[in-house]
Structures are given as C-alpha cells and as structure tokens.
Amino acid sequence: MLKGKKIVLGITGGIAAYKAAELTRALIKEGAQVKIIMTKCACEFITPLTLQTLSGDLVYTDTFAPAVKWDMAHIALADFADAFVIAPATGNIIGKIASGIADDLLTTTIMATDKPVLVCPAMNDKMLANPIVQENIKKLKKHRYQIMDSAYGELACKVTGAGRLPDTPGILEEICKLLSPATLDGLKILITAGPTEEPLDPVRFITNSSSGKMGYALARVAKRRGAQVTLITGPTALTLPPADKIIRVRTAREMHRAVLDNYKMAAIIIKAAAVADYRPAVMAKEKIKKNKESLSLMLERNPDIISEIGRNKGRRIIAGFAMETENLLANAKEKLKNKKMDFIIANNLREEGAGFQADTNIITIIDKNGQVQKLPKMTKIEAAGAILDRISSVINKKGAIKK
Ligand SMILES: Cc1cc2nc3c(=O)[nH]c(=O)nc-3n(C[C@H](O)[C@H](O)[C@H](O)COP(=O)(O)O)c2cc1C
C-alpha cells in the first residue's frame, strides 16, 4: 500500500520521539520514501543521526540551513510529500499550527503544504485534557488535518491516562487510510472470512486450510476506503483487522446465523470465508475412543449461505470466492450464476502463490455479465484493492445504493 509513497515525517520534542525511529523503520519496510523534519526540541530526545540512518536520507532541522540539493527546503518538502505525519505531536506544535505560526522548518512546511496531514498527539494526560489544547485539536480537525486519538495507558510520567502515542501499526493504518481513495465512503459492507470448524466430539473437528488472510485484507482495505465494515470471522490465528463490528463464529451454522442477522443492513456482501459444505451428522458428547479398527463418519449438508442471501439480495451487491483445483473458470461461472452473485473471484489452488495461507493471491474476477479480468500475482491487500475497485465501479454506476 505504501510502496513508492512519499511521506514527510515530522518529529517534535516529546518523550515519545524515540518511537519515531520504529515508525520510520516500519514506513521504509512498507516501501515508502521517507523524509524527516525534526524540531529543535525533538533533537534533544533522539539524534538526527539515528533517523538519518533509518530513513537513508538527510534529516531536516533548520529552515535556514544552506541548501544541499533543495532550493527552499520548506517548499520542496511540502511539494514532495504525498502525505505528512507528525508523530509524536507535542501540545506546542498543535498550538502553533492552530494559530498559524510558522517559526521553524516543520511549522513552515506544514503551512506550505496542501497535502493530507496526520497529527498524532502524545503528551501528559493533563496537558492533553487542557481546554486550550482541546480547542486547538478541534480547530485542526475543522480544517484539513486528521487527528489520531492518543492511546490510553501508562505515560512516561508514570501516571495512567490518555496521551500515549498510538502504536506503530495503528499509525501505519491511518496513513494508508489517508492515502486511499474514499470510494466506499459511508457504505455498509459485510465481509466473511476464515474457515469454519465442524466438531466431531469435544476435542476434534473438521476444518479446512483457510487462514482468513484474504477476508481480513478485504476488511482492512474497505475500512481504509471509508466503508462501515462488519466482519464475520471463523477461527483464525491472525490479528483482527480494523472493523466497526466483529462477530466471531466457529461452525457453518453459526456463520449462517450471523450472516442472516446482519446482511440486510449491508449494501455490499463479500463472502470470503471457506465455509464447510458438510458437518458430522452427530457430535459425540464424549471424546471418541480408539477402540475400533475403523470408524465411519456420516456427514450432512450445511446451509448454503450465499445461495440463500442471493435469493433475497434485493439491490445488494454480492461477491463470493471460488477456490478450485480443476476447471477453474467454468466452475466459477456456474457458481456465479447459480448463486445469483454479482462477482465471483476465482483462484486456483494449484497455482503457486494463490489460495489459502499465502500472503499473495492470483485472482480472476468474473462479473455477472461474463466479463473476465485475470490479474497477476499480487499481495492479498492489493488483490482486495482490485476487488473493491470493481465493486465500487458498479456501486457508483448504480448510484442509488450509496448511503
Ligand atoms: C523530559 C521532557 C519530556 C517532554 N515530553 C513532552 C510530551 O510528551 N509531549 C509534549 O507535548 N511536550 C513534552 N515536553 C515539552 C516539550 O518538549 C516543549 O513543549 C517543547 O517546547 C516542544 O517543542 P516542539 O513542539 O517544537 O518540539 C517535554 C519536555 C521535557 C523536558
């Protein structure tokens, strides 16, 4: 998501300035190009040398420093950026930006830019609660600044309260959001993800190899694009993505119930979960003993969730997945038609880099008019972007479904 993006990171003189080193590393790891501006006070907390080494570039600290390559640093940096991030942001810099003060390189550059700016306040809880600081934050919000809520927890001054710098993954997510198109703004979207587990007895179950990565990537990217996301997830080992509502389920029947309870409010439904087609007809009350040479299992069909909502879809957009090991396109097209979906995303388990568990996927998006879009191998986050692009184009054409 941040590959090739140009980020200017402003670091100010708070105790959390050391965490800007970790943020710099994370941004670089995500493929961003990072230029750093430090205030004079920030240099008291962490050295420019550390940030220079981590960012692989000069660190800018002085409006009036002799130019190395840039004509006027504040203008060049303001134009260079796709987005600005100030982390940590002191009460002082928030006050200065809110008052239109430009008395150092960071405040001058911020004044000179029309790019999105993310401000991550970090300070003592009483400083944060100070009505003037709150008024300044409100003023920044009113203009074009994105303000991240500070985290709650133990502060450097040993008290517990609000004022901690949010963690690095949280800041990265906000930056991605800042740089994402708001194509799903206000739309309600229901996404299912992960496998289901069908118990045989209290300790054993039938499941499949779904990791949940594709569904979680869809939830993450939909949220970045402004959607209100409900995620229904089977058991996974992943960190949950940001979502407005998360419902954890175990079995196909629980997934069925959760989807029926929630799909009506959604404009878009994406079923990325790998729901078991069959479940053991009987779940043994006690652990099954190893006292027979062979054991037969009687299975019975689980509800076909997507067909059921397909029949009652109204004007909702429905997308599902077809994971196949043979006749991929023919099977996917048949499934699309039979289940009254608008899109089916087909992937072939036999292709390397596609399917369960991997961080990449190779998908083909087929729409209900038979249009086939085969995409190259890409990360699941990129694949999620491509799927949501296709869905957004239909929503935008339909128009009326929005909000
Ligand atoms: C040890 C120490 C820790 C500080 N921590 C913070 C902090 O976390 N947040 C904050 O807003 N100010 C903090 N300050 C106060 C700022 O350093 C001070 O307001 C300074 O003028 C900020 O300058 P700047 O915004 O230009 O970087 C701290 C000061 C000291 C001495």
Ligand 1 atom nearest residue 155's Cα: 8
List the one residue out of 337, 398, 389 whose CA is nearest residue 368. 337
Q: Is 341 exposed, middle or buried (0-12, 13-18, 19+ CB in 10 A)?
A: buried
The residue nearest atom 14 of ligand 1, judged by CA position, is 14
- Give phi and psi for 396, each to the nearest 5: -65, -35
Amino acid at 61: T
Ligand 1 atom nearest residue 16's Cα: 8
Q: Is the dihedral of CA 336, 387, 351, 212 positive or negative?
A: negative
Task: State the average pLDDT for the chain.
Answer: 92
Taking the centre of ligand 1 as the mean of its atom positions, its distance from the CA of residue 333, in whole angstroms, is: 60
Percent of the chain with pLDDT over 70: 95
pLDDT at 392 over 90: yes
Best substitution site from 43, 46, 90 to test ligand 1's pocket, by max atoms within 8 Å of Cβ?
Answer: 90
pLDDT of residue 92: 98
Cβ 37 under 6 angstroms from ligand 1: no
Q: Helices (H), strands (E): how many in the chain?
A: 14, 22
Cβ 11 under 6 angstroms from ligand 1: no
Best substitution site from 9, 41, 94, 147 to test ligand 1's pocket, by max atoms within 8 Å of Cβ?
Answer: 41
Amino acid at 278: Y
Cβ 92 under 6 angstroms from ligand 1: yes
176 is catalytic: no
Cα 129 from chain centre: 29
The residue nearest atom 16 of ligand 1, judged by CA position, is 13
pLDDT at 257 over 50: yes
Q: Answer whether the bond into residue 202 is a cis peptide, omega within 30°.
A: no
Residues paired with residue 319 on neighbouring β-strands, in sequence order: 270, 343
Percent of the chain with pLDDT over 90: 79
Residues paired with residue 397 on neighbouring β-strands, in sequence order: none
Map out the domains of the chain with their CATH numbers: 6-178 (3.40.50.1950), 188-287+296-398 (3.40.50.10300)
Residues 47 and 52: their CA atoms lie apart, in Å, by: 9
List, for residues 374-386, the tens digit of each pLDDT value.
999 999 999 999 9
Cβ 39 under 6 angstroms from ligand 1: yes
List the one residue out of 218, 207, 209 whose CA is nearest residue 302. 207
In 68-168, DSSP assigns E strands to 83-89, 117-121, 145-147, 151-154, 160-164
pLDDT of residue 297: 92
Helices 380-398, 213-224: axis angle to 10 degrees equals 50
List, for residues 117-151, the tens digit of each pLDDT value.
999 999 999 999 999 999 999 999 999 899 999 99
Residue 351 confidence class, pLDDT cut points 50, 70, 90: confident
Amino acid at 388: L
- Give phi and psi for 367, each to the nearest 5: -105, 175
List the one residue out of 134, 123, 128 whose CA is nearest residue 156. 123
List, for residues 19-64, the tens digit of each pLDDT value.
999 999 999 999 999 999 999 999 999 999 999 999 999 999 977 7
Taking the centre of ligand 1 as the mean of its atom positions, its distance from the CA of residue 343, in whole angstroms, is: 53
List, for residues 60-95, the tens digit of each pLDDT value.
997 776 655 555 677 788 888 999 999 999 999 999
List the one residue out of 169, 4, 166 whose CA is nearest residue 82. 4
The residue nearest atom 21 of ligand 1, judged by CA position, is 92
Taking the centre of ligand 1 as the mean of its atom positions, its distance from the CA of residue 286, in whole angstroms, is: 62
Residue 18 confidence class, pLDDT cut points 50, 70, 90: very high
Residue 400 confidence class, pLDDT cut points 50, 70, 90: very low
Residues 87 and 189: their CA atoms lie apart, in Å, by: 31
Task: Check: CB of residue 98 under 8 Å from CB of residue 140.
Answer: yes
Ligand 1 atom nearest residue 89's Cα: 11
pLDDT at 223 over 60: yes
